[in-house]
Amino acid sequence: MQQDVPLTWYLLLSAALFCLGIVGFLLKRNIITVFMSIELMLNAVNLSFVTFAHQWHAVKGQIFVFFVMMVAAAEAAVGLAIIIAVFRVRNTLSVDRIDLMKL
């Protein structure tokens, strides 16, 4: 194992990516950007998974990453389909204007 990049850096990068995802999710109004923010958060988690897997020489973490990627792919397919359907009906991509379900 190469020691030139310490473990902490990976984790810090992962945390930074995750926070960027959260900020994007909370602040952006365009639903596609929100979607991309979710992907960003998932990938931040993936990064910490592979980091620990590498650190502990355990394959479990890497398998988990595949699961997460698979779910993310499925989510992307379904989510984009929903977005297209919503856009057709509402003619907008702003999440603030998709609020028909509230009381």
- Of 13, 25, 66, 79, the residue at the interface with another protein (CB under 8 A) is 25
Q: Angle 74-80-82 (CA atoms, 0-180°, nearest 5)?
A: 105
Helix spans in the chain (H): 7-27, 31-56, 60-90
User: Taking contact as CB under 8 A, which single stretch among the options 3-11, 66-74, 81-89 is the one that binds another protein?
Assistant: 3-11
Regarding 4 and contact with another protein (CB under 8 A), the answer is no
Which 3 state secondary structure label does DSSP give 2?
coil
Q: Which residues bind another protein (CB under 8 A)?
A: 7-8, 11, 22, 25-27, 29, 34, 55-56, 95-96, 98-103
